[in-house]
């Protein structure tokens, strides 16, 4: 009888161990994960293990290097630019979430095959210290190449950061094949090129530079935490580039059905209501928005890029910057 009890206990323990979902993502998703994922765990009895790898660019590089071998089920954080490389590598299965109808705008669905499901979005923008620079209003990004901004701007590296890549593509969307002419002048305004958004924001908050590339929702962040909009948000000419982030299920996961439930959860109102004050992005489904988001900047015009060779653009950028 005792031996039978031990065997049953071991079987039960193994079953519990099997009910674990492993998620790869980027560092700054952790606040959202800490708030939202316990809801899924409570509803399903599944333990979600989160592993982070810097910014989204580093995340994708890690996934590709471990393709077919990585102990991972779901990847969160591949945006509408990094998606092309991910699709070329054939990393994800197609899965149309059961609650996909909740997504508020069809334009947010950047993959018609549903290898990546959108979970948040936001426009790229500059944020700046109003105490040092005053209130800025530019009709063109060219104005940021002026001598007054020499070594005053922190940007993110497009080779390692999804924010940095989105900014590079923003300049390409605005200038087309002439984007290098802008960068030849703009590089004089750049103080440093950070590996990712987290590092850039730390430098900005520490006062290393009065301006950085960030998101149009940062005014909301300032109001939420400081009770005022302590720094300005700028989209030159009100022509903004929108980054859409997605999540997908890796092809080699042996827990695909469980992973599908997790993707469904990720775009449920229960999870999405935690997006604004943790991701500082807009949720893809309708939820009650915090008052602070009244201070998020919304571009009047959205610019996009289509069918571009991202690796070629990055290589051309490198030839100017370095």
DSSP secondary structure of 194-258: ESSHHHHHHHHHTTS-SEEEEETTHHHHHHHHHSS--EEEE-GGGEEEEEEEEEEEBTT-S-HHH
State the pLDDT at residue 306: 77
Residue % of the chain over a pLDDT of 90? 82
pLDDT at 11: 46
The reported pLDDT for the residue numbered 14 is 47
| pLDDT tops 90 at residue 230 | no
Angle at 247 between CA 90 and CA 199, to 5 degrees: 105
- pLDDT one-digit tens code per residue, 164-212: 999 999 999 999 999 999 999 999 999 999 999 989 999 999 999 999 9
Average pLDDT of the chain? 92
pLDDT (average), residues 259-277: 98
Nearest to 108 by CA among 294, 286, 319, 308: 286
Q: Which secondary structure element, helix H or strand E, spans residue 79, and what is its range?
A: strand 74-79
| Residue 55 pLDDT | 87
Q: Is the pLDDT of residue 1 over 80?
A: no
Pairing of strands 117-129, 282-283: antiparallel
pLDDT digits (tens, 9 = 90+) for 118-152: 999 999 999 999 999 999 999 999 999 999 999 99
pTM for the whole structure: 0.82
Q: What is the mean pLDDT of residues 22-26?
A: 97
State what percent of residues in the chain have pLDDT above 70: 94
Q: Residue 234: what are its φ and ψ, rounded to 5°?
A: -135, 125
Mean pLDDT of 55-73: 93
Domains of the chain: 15-121+243-291 (3.40.190.10), 122-242+295-321 (3.40.190.10)
Residue 17 has pLDDT above 60, yes or no: no
Mean pLDDT for the stretch of residues 252-275: 98
Q: Is the pLDDT of residue 12 over 90?
A: no
Radius of gyration of the chain (CA): 21
Among 241, 227, 240, 246, CA closest to 299 = 240
- Summarize the confidence of residues 244-256 as an average pLDDT: 97
CA distance 151 to 101: 46
pLDDT over 50 at 277, yes or no: yes
Residue 273 binned pLDDT confidence (cut-offs 50, 70, 90): very high
| pLDDT category of residue 100 using cuts at 50, 70 and 90 | very high
Q: In the predicted model, what is the mean pLDDT of residues 22-37? A: 97
pLDDT of residue 9: 52
- Which of the 8 DSSP states describes residue 76? E
Judged against a pLDDT cut of 90, whether residue 35 lies above it is answered with: yes
């Amino acid at each position: 009888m005792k031996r039978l009890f031990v065997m049953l206990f071991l079987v039960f323990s193994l079953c519990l161990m099997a009910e674990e979902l492993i998620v790869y993502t980027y560092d700054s998703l952790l606040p959202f994960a800490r708030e939202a994922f316990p809801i899924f765990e409570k509803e399903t009895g599944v333990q979600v293990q989160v592993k982070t790898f810097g910014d989204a660019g580093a995340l994708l590089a890690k996934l590709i290097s471990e393709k077919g071998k990585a102990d991972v089920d779901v990847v969160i954080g591949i945006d509408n630019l990094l998606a092309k490389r991910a699709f070329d590598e054939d990393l994800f299965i197609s899965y149309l979430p059961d609650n996909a109808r909740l997504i508020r705008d069809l334009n947010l669905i950047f993959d018609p095959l549903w290898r990546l499901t959108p979970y948040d979005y936001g426009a790229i923008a500059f944020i700046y210290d109003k105490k040092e620079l005053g209130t800025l209003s530019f009709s063109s990004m060219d104005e940021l190449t002026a001598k007054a901004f020499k070594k005053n701007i922190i940007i993110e590296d497009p080779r390692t950061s999804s924010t940095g890549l989105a900014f590079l593509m923003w300049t390409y969307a605005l200038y087309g094949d002439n984007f290098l002419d802008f960068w030849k002048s703009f590089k004089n305004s750049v103080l440093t090129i950070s590996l990712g958004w987290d590092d850039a924001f730390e430098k900005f908050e520490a006062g290393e530079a009065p301006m950085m590339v960030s998101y149009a929702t940062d005014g909301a962040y300032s109001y939420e935490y400081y009770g005022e909009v302590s720094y300005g948000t700028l989209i030159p000419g009100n022509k903004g580039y929108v980054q859409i982030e997605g999540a997908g299920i890796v092809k080699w996961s042996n827990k695909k059905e469980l992973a599908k439930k997790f993707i469904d959860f990720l775009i449920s109102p229960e999870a999405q209501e935690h997006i604004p004050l943790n991701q500082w992005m807009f949720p893809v489904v309708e939820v009650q928005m915090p008052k602070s988001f009244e201070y998020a900047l919304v571009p009047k015009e959205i610019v996009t890029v289509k069918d571009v060779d991202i690796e070629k653009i990055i290589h051309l950028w490198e030839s100017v910057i370095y």
